[in-house]
Amino acid sequence: MNEEIIQKKQTGRLPVAAIVGRPNVGKSTLFNRLIGVRKAIVGDRPGVTVDRLESEFMLGDRHVILVDTGGIGEGTHDIMQPAIDIQVDAALEIADIVIFTVDAQSGATGVDAVIADKLRRQGMPLLLVVNKAERENSATDFYGLGLGEPLPVSAIHGQGMPELLDALAELLPEMPDDQALEEEEKPLANIAVIGRPNVGKSTLINAWLGRDRMVVSEIAGTTRDAIDSMLPFQDGFVRLVDTAGQRKHGRISDVIEFVARVKAVQAFRMADVAVMLLDGAEGIVEQDMRLMQLAQDEGCALIVAVNKLDLLSEQEWKYFAERLNFRMRGMTDIPVYRVTAKQGKGVKQLLHEAVKASVRNHFTIGTGELNRWLGDTQEAHHAPSDDGSMVRMKYASQTGTNPPSFKIFCNRPGKLKPTYKRYLEQAFRKTFDLSGVPIRFSFVGGTNPYADKGNK
């Protein structure tokens, strides 16, 4: 396939709407109202939302990631300006739409004006939402911000929410044409490259591509966006995503991780497999483990690549490998590979292994073979229950792939212990050689709905 044509092939991602505004204007209440769940902590004092939250919700027939951010700015203009810049920039970093929330009861403030000026100069899709607007005409004070028509709502009472949802839906980026996507050749694999700043993600992708597609720098956070590249591979192509989003500011590590997480979630939703790149010279930290767990929670197959091995002696590598195995002991059987991306060592094999992991994540099995496995696995180790009674799996069927997902009918699903569920997952992964692949089992009661149809 012509590489210029391949480069034009892009796959859509979940749009992101970020809620920003001063403290105590009701951002978290609005977040909870939109997603329909009390997920964000709501309080009547500034600073309640410290950690940023994100949640997926349905807007009509579209999936949208909604982000709740901390309050912007307190005190005088000079003192609050760094906080305003950090928070607004973090929202703009990942958002397709900004929901600028203000407080009808306090009216337009100087902080609101500063935030509005910054958002207006960015020129991105924006909704000005006036919360706590239970009284008529309480939004008129906000026309002076110059951000268009204010939308009066009451997040706590639900007033104005249909109008807000309609306005939000109108600003969503257009979806790719389904028919056009079907006509396009699909990639052999969608590969997300993940890792902390400056571990060599862009260097690895450049090594795969054979050219400097990504800007590479010793400064952490050079890559600000998730960038797609299409790489010819065998008789087709693979799609590579460099998931970064880090920023070059040592005092905002919380924003760095927040932005990186949202971008990673977007990438994982599009990917079949995630390559977790670790820095062999720095070791493994808790942030690495959280990112790996997030990849598997989002249904990606996972493989680990340890980079910069030219900086390690054999003894140092042995210590690193032992520590890595210890940290990953609670996860699935994840393959580990050694590379030196800067010198191109091991990168070709790593690409082949990533494509294989993608294939594993699309694993399918016939119903008959699946149920024979289920019977043999139960026979080898019966399911214990809390009260000593028998829990018996009656029948299983596959419900999806990427990741492989299955529904198991049993007599007492609520009595199955988590340890037995893990046993089934591990046994399935080992039997069918699905290393690094998350397996999803759901357990339901009732009789076999396929009993009269026979196993195929």
Annotated binding site for GTP: 21-28, 68-72, 131-134, 195-202, 242-246, 307-310
Residue 145 corresponds to which tokens in the numbers above? 């911000």
Which helix or strand (DSSP H or E) is residue 163 part of? helix 161-171
Helix/strand/coil (H, E, C) string of 168-185?
HHHHCCCCCCHHHHHHCC
CA-closest candidate to residue 15, choices 44, 43, 45, 57: 57
Dihedral sign for Cα atoms in the order 410, 413, 415, 419: positive
CA dihedral (398, 404, 408, 413) positive or negative: negative
Q: Which tokens go with 105?
A: 């009861």
Give the integer Cα–Cα distance in Å for 124 and 15.
13
Of the candidates 374, 366, 455, the one whose C-alpha atom is nearest the C-alpha of residue 420 is 374
Nearest partner of 237 among 7, 71, 55, 447, judged by Cα = 7
- Cβ neighbors of 111 (< 8 A, separation 6 or more) are 22, 72, 73, 80, 84
| Amino acid present at 396 | A
Inter-residue contact 308 to 281 (CB < 8 Å): yes
What number of other Cβ atoms are within 10 A of residue 100's Cβ?
A: 28
Residues making up the annotated binding site are 21-28, 68-72, 131-134, 195-202, 242-246, 307-310
Q: Which one-letter amino acid corresponds to residue 266?
A: Q
In the block, residue with structure tokens 């990673």: 264
Which residues are CB-neighbours of 419 under 8 A, at least 6 positions away? none
Closest CA to 68 of 104, 108, 34: 34
Contact 260, 31 (CB under 8 A): no
Cβ 323 vs Cβ 305: under 8 Å: no
Enter the tokens of residue 181: 């996507």
Q: What's the number of CA atoms in the CB half-sphere (13 Å) around residue 120?
A: 12
Give CA–CA dist 82/86, Å, rounded: 6
